[in-house]
Amino acid sequence: MSSAVWQSASSPVSSALACCEEVVCMAVYVMSDLHGDWAHFRLMLMRIRFSSRDQLYIIGDAVDRGPHGIRLLHYIQKQQNMTLLLGNHELMLLEGLQACGDALNADWFDPATFAELSQLSPAARGELASYLSALPVFLNISAGGQSYFLVHASPAPPGTEGEQLLEYLLWTRVSPDDRFSRPVIAGHTPTAYYQSKTPLRIWRNGNFTDIDCGTAFRSVLPGGCLACLRLDDGREFYV
């Protein structure tokens, strides 16, 4: 793809998929792909000295793989200065909740996520589904005098609509050959896909930045860690 389109198209997930503009705060941070890793998420918040005056964007996939994805969702939902974007794993969780209704079926869920969901009442699971259905699929933000397009997986080429649009935003892996007309920050693809550095580090290629450093795969991916990028000055943090 030679360029990206920045459009406010709606999707079947929610009518609330819209763009968001600049937030006035002390510092703006981005993370992605927490995948239930509560311990390293909390450690990162301490590492960056995150305060009530800061803003954090989590670019999808807070759930699955690790043991505390639902705990993370509940925590993020309660924080006024944290914004979660929809990732493909949140979408799968939402689809499972909608399909199962009050009777959970393990076939629909990641095992760790199912274990947490089983501890929730049907009403609480319904509230969780409502939260997930309202998550933005992409955001336009400004920080440090620069605009950024935040998306879980990849921007879509011009003219992309409907389910194909959602496929790009949540599932497509950006190629090293892709070029974008403005700064894009995404996760979804562990940076080991693009580089051989260990420990893994944030990967930058022109206007594209991948911040998924594989915290969910620490046991099988050498150097996997949780990354955080401060947009005000470009500083990188790892735990």
Q: Which domains occur in the chain, in start order?
A: 28-86+135-238 (3.60.21.10)
Structure tokens at 233: 């000055």
Is the four-CA dihedral 28, 32, 37, 38 of positive or negative sign?
positive
Angle at 97 between CA 76 and CA 213, to 5 degrees: 45
Provide the pLDDT for residue 25: 60
What whole-number distance in Å separates Cα of residue 32 and Cα of residue 34? 6
A 10 A CB-CB count for 218 gives 16
With b for 16 or more beta-carbon neighbours within 10 A and e for fewer, the 71-92 pattern comes to bbbbebeeeebbbbbbbbbbbb
- 239 residues of the chain, pLDDT tens digit each: 333 333 333 333 433 333 434 444 699 999 999 999 999 999 999 999 999 999 999 999 999 999 999 999 999 999 999 999 999 999 999 999 999 999 999 999 999 999 999 999 999 999 999 999 999 999 999 999 999 999 999 999 989 999 999 999 999 999 999 999 999 999 999 999 999 878 899 999 999 999 999 999 999 998 999 999 999 999 999 99
**Distance spanning both ends of the chain, measured CA to CA:** 33
